[in-house]
Amino acid sequence: MGMDWHSSGVTTTVCGALKQGIAGRTRELGFVVAGGKGRTSRATPGELTAAGRWMGVDPAPYIQASRMAAKVDNNALQDGYQIYHHVFLLDRAGHWAV
């Protein structure tokens, strides 16, 4: 997966398929895929809050990390594009990736 001009479609597709594939099984599997493409990306904080409840963790640090990553993507990268894909993966042990 990559975010360069010829492979970014693969990233959005794989992340979307992963999110759909684990839907309804996140507790069983022990991880969540929050966010997504377009408007779905704006649901990331709410999805992390819900995941924090069932995982028994404070979602605030993960929401902050998510927001900071999105802010860097939108503002620090001066490439002329707005963020269109934002996914946050979080597992029960507190491991995460944006």
Q: Is the pLDDT of residue 80 over 90?
A: no
Q: Which two tokens stand for residue 29?
A: 């599997």
Supply the DSSP string of 22-77, one letter for each residue.
HTT-HHHHTEEEEEEEGGGGGGHHHHHHHHHHHHTS--HHHHHHHHHHHHIIIIIS
Could you tell me if residue 28 is inside a domain? yes
Answer yes or no: is 2 within a domain.
no
At 79 the pLDDT is 73
**Does residue 59 fall inside a structural domain?**
yes
Count of the separate structural domains present in the chain: 1
Q: Quick check: is 49 in a domain?
A: yes
- The pTM of this model reads 0.86
Tell me: the pLDDT tens digits for 44-70? 999 999 999 999 999 999 999 999 999
76 in a structural domain: yes
33 within 8 A of 19, measured Cβ to Cβ: yes
* Residue 3 falls inside a structural domain: no
Domain extent, residue 32, equals 8-97
